[in-house]
Structure 1
């Protein structure tokens, strides 16, 4: 009973956190009216990873509570993407990205081997998104428009999903993905904190 309660708490806390995960990032960008330090490539790779992962879970009829947060995360990522394109004056590219993602989403479940291959690459894709964000921060040395809270919450959700995966499906590919994502999310969080500007005391 205690195990089931802990599992439900992990599932629902993850779902709740994911419902607001990108809100801090969205608010920071809207307040600054800029997207400096937020990597477009990272966001596109993250979206691709989310779509592949959710499609894989749905294809194999995994319990909905193990992936229910992904439609919410995808919707929030789309908002962040539109903001980045808007502040970079590239909003017209949104239609191209929409067509590519929708078309790719449909192709994923055409054949079993396609979704299996995509899932085998999912960890690499998602890891690449974090590394792209790290590279962006290293180059700009400016994380004022990057939300520390968003990355810290992302770290928590991955930790929670390690627990729920072990208890429910035990899928090795999924477990490896969450372990790698936890480490990289923590790395990004620390880097964001490091590059936050510190107030200079006035004499």
Structure 2
């Protein structure tokens, strides 16, 4: 198999995985009706990073195939946000979050330097998102409501995209933490 074919396969599978990446997490939350172990701050940071990235790509007229997965991920994150707010009993705050994100999105394109600065902070924002999820898991010591499948798929998409090596390691760290607490939670239930 030549490198071009391998690259096309990697791109296609990454796009496909991104189209369904958050579905397992959505289904886990809907089944559990609880958000223990799921970090709202992590989701908000991730959503911010996605919005910054797609806005930057659109601002500089990149071809849509280079950022096509991000609007799909943003839509899935919005669904997750609404579920988290619903199960935390604070769905009434959803309008505030919508206004902040739409206002922030508009603010990004007011001046060129704003979108450039935001984009330069994008990796930091994404990394902070992973650390917020890890912190939430460490605090709760409960990973039952966190989808290992979603984190596994996120790890795969980052491994395919070499520029996200740091995100790969952080996604893997969260996945291993989820599995660790899941296993230690199971042993506690048997005792």
Structure 1 gap segments, 5+ residues each: 163-174
TM-score, L = length of structure 1: 0.88
Change (3 A) 1:153 1:65: same
Structure 1 distance, partners of 2:11, 2:93, is 36
RMSD of aligned residue pairs (Cα, Å):
1.5
Deviation at 1:61, TM superposition (A): 2.9
Structure 1 distance, partners of 2:2, 2:65, is 18
- Counterpart residue number, 2:173: 187
- Counterpart residue number, 2:186: 198
Structure 2 distance, partners of 1:11, 1:63, is 15
Structure 2 distance, partners of 1:201, 1:97, is 41
- Counterpart residue number, 2:161: 161
CA contact 1:143–1:195 (8 Å) conserved in 2 = yes
- Counterpart residue number, 2:141: 141
Deviation at 1:201, TM superposition (A): 5.5
CA contact 1:11–1:66 (8 Å) conserved in 2 = no
- Counterpart residue number, 1:108: 108
Which range is displaced more, 193-202 or 71-80?
193-202
CA contact 1:52–1:119 (8 Å) conserved in 2 = yes
Three-state SS of the structure 2 residue aligned to 1:145 is coil
CA contact 1:40–1:81 (8 Å) conserved in 2 = yes
Change (3 A) 1:19 1:7: same
TM-score, L = length of structure 2: 0.93
Deviation at 1:5, TM superposition (A): 1.8
Structure 2 gap segments, 5+ residues each: none
Structural mapping, 1:1-203, within 5 Å: 2-162=2-162, 175=163, 178-196=164-182, 197-198=185-186
Change (3 A) 1:63 1:5: farther
Structure 2 distance, partners of 1:61, 1:5, is 26
Structure 2 distance, partners of 1:30, 1:141, is 20
Structure 1 residue runs of 4 or more that deviate by more than 3 Å after TM superposition? 199-202
Which range is displaced more, 53-62 or 109-118?
53-62
CA contact 1:11–1:65 (8 Å) conserved in 2 = no
Corresponding residue pairs, total: 188
